[in-house]
Amino acid sequence: MRNSRSTKGFLLVALLPLLGCSENVATAPDLDLIDVKPRTLEVLLPFEDFVQQSSILGGYGSSSDFGSGVVAKEFQGFTAKTIMRFSSYPESLELQGASSGLKFIGGRVVLSFDSVQGPVNEAISLEISATQQAWDVKTVTWDVAVDTVGDRTTWVQAGAESSIVLASGDLNSHLAGDDSVTTFASISMDVDSATVAAWGLGSSSQGMVVASTDSGTSLNLWDAQLVLKAVPFSNPDTIIEVPVPVSDLSFITNPLPVTPEGWLRVGGLPSWRSVMTIKLPEQVEGSIEICGKIGCLFDVAKSQLNLAELILRTRETELGYRPTRPLGIQIRSVLSPSLLPKSPLGDPIGALQGVTIQPEFFSGSEGETAIFSLTDLLEFDSDELSGMFPSETIVLLSNNEGSTVNFASFQGSGSSGSPTLRLLLTVPELGSGP
């Protein structure tokens, strides 16, 4: 059965030695990688000849899964605020061997940061605000306060700007000016008794927003706590401090990344995944050396697959979301495509750790190739093959999904750098085409 669609758009047939082929090349400047030896056919299939369907799925996880906060102000076009709630206050405390109730008269918020990016050896201005409307830690975004089943509520002002400013201060970062050095800094800001009382009510509107007021800065908030000032009923002349940890923490970002159209995205937080349903063509166009005549179609089922590689080309990622560290990306089988986006996934295909791609490939050096092995997924032998090649659905995802807001971007269909499938096939004998 001939498939005319599988013959258009590609004709790269050469003879080259199999020795020296590698399935672990992560990046390469071009596709002319190896020399061909007799009876080995190299075929490069363009996107439309092996991809039956592709889609980009987002929303895996939540910013609340990150485990820490992000605070940024117009850093490479990216702004972020951290939003949090504190745990319930203790009703009593053991003092001198006896339990005593407490009266809370005020407190202070202590924030600890690391990996500060911004002006070297300059203080960074921060402010904390009290939220005035209900918000959901799992679904809160820059525009939306709650996005749950039966309730979708936007902020009165985007970015929780309707929150009331409680305090401000300068974070003395003491930056060393070396990106390889992780810096740590803390700041303490007082809050009044009315705010402490409101936060202690446990309502859904309870919360605090942390923001920077200095442009060009970005900080990771790794710890926060509310330190309450309390007077024990048993000893009203004494003031003690009671630490209260964070119960809910997330962060909101602006601008939100746009939905990909015609290109691929992997990673981020919440995370994106790129899904493809692929199928090998039944026939490809062969050379005179393989077919013994001009313009013949070579029957793939009469060959043996030695190597299959998915070749992607990087695309410039949006400002604010560009990777700053190497990203690991892997491919897995989608075990139940009908259950997407919640289908279970198989083990990684190819290298266990996937492919590591350098961050510069998503900015000024876009257009670099990233090569993923699909040999184990598509492997077949002409002696065992019967019937048509099955469709296989795969997904590209981040190795450490949910660990960074940055994501990878790749060219998709309709572009000069669209995905390519590279096959190395062993033919039965020279000049014996169908």
> Which tens digits make up the pLDDT trace of 376-413?
999 876 655 555 688 999 999 999 888 888 899 999 98
34 burial (CB, 10 Å; 0-12 / 13-18 / 19+) is middle
Residues 293, 294, 299, 300: is their CA dihedral positive or negative?
positive
Amino acid at 283: Q
C-alpha span between 368 and 123 (Å, rounded) = 39
Q: Which two tokens stand for residue 209?
A: 């927003």
The answer to whether the CB of 296 falls within 8 A of the CB of 433 is yes
pTM, entire model? 0.76
Q: What 8-state DSSP symbol labels residue 158?
A: G
Q: What is the dihedral of CA 159, 161, 164, 170, to 10 degrees?
A: 70
What pLDDT digit, counting tens, does each position of 108-162 carry?
A: 999 998 765 655 567 889 999 999 999 999 999 999 999 998 889 999 999 999 9
Cis status, amide bond into 255, omega within 30 of 0: yes
Nearest to 122 by CA among 67, 172, 64, 80: 172
Q: What is the dihedral of CA 21, 24, 25, 26, to 10 degrees?
A: 160
What pLDDT digit, counting tens, does each position of 66-95 carry?
A: 888 999 999 878 899 999 999 999 988 887
Nearest to 84 by CA among 234, 202, 206, 1: 206
